Structure 1
Amino acid sequence: MTRIRTLLFSTLYPSSVRPSHGIFVETRLRELLASGEVETQVVAPVPWFPSTAPRFGDWAKMASTPRVETHNGIAVHHPRYFLPPKVGMNIAPWTLAWGARATVAKLIRDGFDFDLIDAHYYYPDGVAAAMLARWFNKPFVVTARGTDLNLIPQHAWPRRLIKQTAEAAAGSIGVCGALMDVLRDMGVDNSRLHVLRNGVDLQRFVPEDRQAARAKLGLQQEGRLLVSVGHLIERKGHDIAIAALPFLPSDVRLAIVGDGVERERLATQAQQLGVTHRVHFAGSRPQTELKWWYSAADALTLCSSREGWANVLLEAMACGTPVIATNIWGTPEVVSDPSAGELMHERSPVGLLRAFEQLMGRETHRATVRRYAEGFSWQATTSGQLALFRKARV
């Protein structure tokens, strides 16, 4: 059978400059490529910015992104697009599509005449992909991942464009059922909607001895440890984990793995609550190191206000670590058994406290948590993608 040629299109894709950005998209692609039935090049546009001066933070990183690179063995193209402040969100689908058009045309001229566009994130990426698909007469598929459908459609103009895109797509994929419910409620034909959840890399995320992991990370070994992993932004709820510490037993400590705009505010919060000595800010860590943080913990806590399918939950479980998470969107589909962890009855410090008490009040075996995670391999998702792509290219 002839291999399927796909053009993966998304602003959420890692680069040599931002290796952790959109890593969940790259992970799914790597699993798909491992089937041997797909050939792919990636077009991952980045916003244009005039300076690479470090004082501009992430904008400077985007400006220094190579135009073309091979990242983890995959060809990746990074055309620029215009994203002006304030009005950028409304015009982004158009600037994104126009910014990528020349790159896509060149790929075709150079011999990569792909069968379909595999777009990730519904707005603006999926809407832009629909434009590219019209211009180049190609079918396209869009994967929804969270905020693109659980928040953005609250705005009328993006909602209209999302609905139009879903109706034009050969198929829409949601990483959890709740995301496809949004499109179904918009009136999109159910036959076009597919739930293909993320899996977990069971080779990368493996249990390590807890005390050895803490020693390796330089953490105090006495007492219990909660780990909160994710960007330091409001919706991830690291502040809720900090606020719960005064109510939790005094031997419980919290390690926060990630970086972002909330770093200073979170440190101030810990100081004001008198728990600075119980909070460890680890900063951003490479994904290859995360197994040690998960293994060091008695539980992972995820207090997000919005999540499509939180990969950190499965990563922690694969390391034998149970989880405490907010009961939102796709999370109940991830944490569907008490052996995996606890869902908070409310997104608050008290909600975290009650879930912690429930989890610690029963015997939880790391081997049991690992076995639960092993039920989330990538095989079903890869098979589902292949079936959809074959149908789309006919």
Structure 2
Amino acid sequence: MKILTFTTLYPNAAQPNHGVFVENRLRHLTASGQVAARVVAPVPWFPTRHPRFGRYAVFARVPRVEVRHGIPASHPRFVQIPKVGMTMQPFLLAAAAIPEIQRIRKEGHEFDLIDAHYFYPDGVAAAILGCYFNKPVVITARGSDISVLPQFRVQRAMIRWAAKRAAGIITVCQALKEAMLDLNLDGSHITPLRNGVDLKLFRPTDRQRARAELGLQGFTLLSVGQLITHKGHALVIEALRSMPDVRLLIAGTGPDRDSLESLARRLGVLDRVRFLSAIPHADLKRYYGAADALVLASSREGWANVLLESMACGTPVIASNVWGTPEVVSSPDAGVLMSQRNAQGIVDAVHALRTRYPDRDATRRYAERFSWDETTNGQLRLFSEILSHPTR
């Protein structure tokens, strides 16, 4: 079958870590040999590449067309309009995508189905495109698109419209399905398919060598994710005050970098915090393997891939008890869930982990339960069923 993957969450040459979880799922799907895919991943239009414009200039450096891991990807530009952009964005995305999709069809990729990721604005735009091209649409809900955005009246209405128009809905955890049921959507069209982990890429390595190369001493926590408020890096930094023998590595970039450094300096723990900036996805395994624990203090997560990646490297995790995370961390071999999402909750969880630190081989074995095979087979079943019965 031929599919068109549509999403703004997809890596590109200028943003290699952006939406890598969508690319990973698609790579394993196409590796089955049963699916051919093209990707349309729009990016915001910006007029200049000059570095003075920061992340906006990065958009201008994204190539119009590229091939990643054998999968062609197009990046048409769409216009972001200040203030009214949130409401207009699905329509602007669809308008930008139509000419590119028409070009792809002329090249011979007459796709059978649109595979969309993130419900708003991407999924709504995909539903519009499905109407325009008369193709079935499957939308994957991934986190804040369902846990946060339906709080806004207009966005909630558009999400519900897209969900009712979709031939199928995938959620990356059961908790997101339950939230969609709360929106009075038909549960028979919602299929939870959790993300997997690349067990060949993320695997145990020479831990002592990695620690020596990275200059690690003592018990070391690793926090991976964008430097934005809801990821909770500030809570981990605050927790260090009560853990004088613990050090912290933070991998990621984002607008909160300066404020996080200021916080660490103000609390007197800056000498025990190392900011790593962006780490290429494939290189994270060295940091996972060298750390004593991954800590994820997010206020919301659909299905946090970093948790499984760390476990696959043999490193247990400490995580906030939110959304799909309890479905990921469901055994002492995996790690510890915080009893409360604050600095004291992190301190207590670190103490609990250190008191009963799991065998690293057992942590790896736990992660091996989450290969991509189950997810790929679930997608193939769903897509085949939809294409066999094109009308709902």
TM interval, short-chain normalised: over 0.9
User: What's 1:354 paired with?
Assistant: 348
Identity of aligned residues (%): 54
Taking structure 1 as the reference length, the TM-score comes to: 0.97
State the TM-score, normalizing by the size of structure 2: 0.98
Asked whether 1:282 is paired with 2:279, we answer no
Amino acid at match of 2:348: R
Q: 1:244 — aligned with what?
A: 239
| Residues 1-394 of structure 1 mapped to structure 2, 5 A cutoff | 4-217=1-214, 219-221=215-217, 223-248=218-243, 250-394=244-388
**Superposition RMSD in Å:** 0.9
Letter in 1 for 2:8: T
Name the aligned partner's letter for residue 95 of structure 2: W
| Contact 1:147-1:307 at 8 Å conserved across structures | yes
Give the match's secondary structure for 2:369.
Answer: coil
Q: Say how many residue pairs are matched.
A: 388
SS of the residue 2:17 aligns to: coil
Report the CA distance between 1:316 and its aligned residue.
0.4
Post-superposition Cα deviations, 1:286-335, rounded to whole Å, max 9, x if no partner, equal: 01110111111111000001110000000000000000000000000000
Q: Report deviation, 1:109.
A: 2.0
Which stretch has the larger CA shift, 252-261 or 104-113? Answer: 104-113
Helix, strand or coil: the match of 1:41? strand
Letter in 2 for 1:312: V
For residues 62-93 of structure 1, the C-alpha deviation after alignment (integer angstroms, 9 at most, x for no partner) is 11211111122210011111111221111000
- Counterparts of 1:241 and 1:378, CA distance in 2: 30
**Which residue type is aligned with residue 210 of structure 1?**
R
Q: Does structure 2 retain, via aligned residues, the 8 Å contact 1:214–1:220?
A: yes
CA contact (8 A) 2:2 2:111 kept: yes
Q: Hey, what's the Cα distance between the residues in 2 that align with 1:46 and 1:326?
A: 31
Corresponding residue SS for 1:305? coil
1:187 CA displacement = 1.5
Distance (Å, rounded) in 1 between the aligned partners of 2:72 and 2:216: 43
Q: Distance in 1 between matches of 2:185 and 2:355?
A: 45
Deviation at 1:209, TM superposition (A): 2.7
Letter in 1 for 2:79: F
Mean Cα deviation higher: 281-290 or 21-30:
281-290
**Where do 4+ consecutive residues of structure 1 move more than 3 Å?**
none
> CA contact under 8 A between 2:204 and 2:289: conserved in structure 1?
yes
Shift of 1:351: 0.2
State the distance in 2 between where 1:125 and 1:363 align: 41
Q: CA deviation at 1:339?
A: 1.2
Q: Deviations over 1:25-64 (max 9, x none)?
A: 0000000011000000000001111111111112111112
Aligned-partner residue type, residue 330 of structure 2: S
Matched residue SS, 2:236: helix
**Contact persistence 1:210–1:296 (CA under 8 A):** yes
Structure 2: distance between partners of 1:391 and 1:120: 19
- Give the whole-Å Cα distance in 2 for the aligned partners of 1:109 and 1:258: 40
Deviations 1:168-190 (A, max 9, x none): 11110000011111221111111
Q: For 1:183 and 1:251, locate their aligned partners in 2 and report how far apart those are by CA, in whole Å.
A: 43
CA contact (8 A) 1:166 1:183 kept: no
After superposition, the C-alpha distances for 1:173-230 in whole angstroms (9 at most, x for unaligned) are 000011111221111111100000000000110112322111222x233x11001011
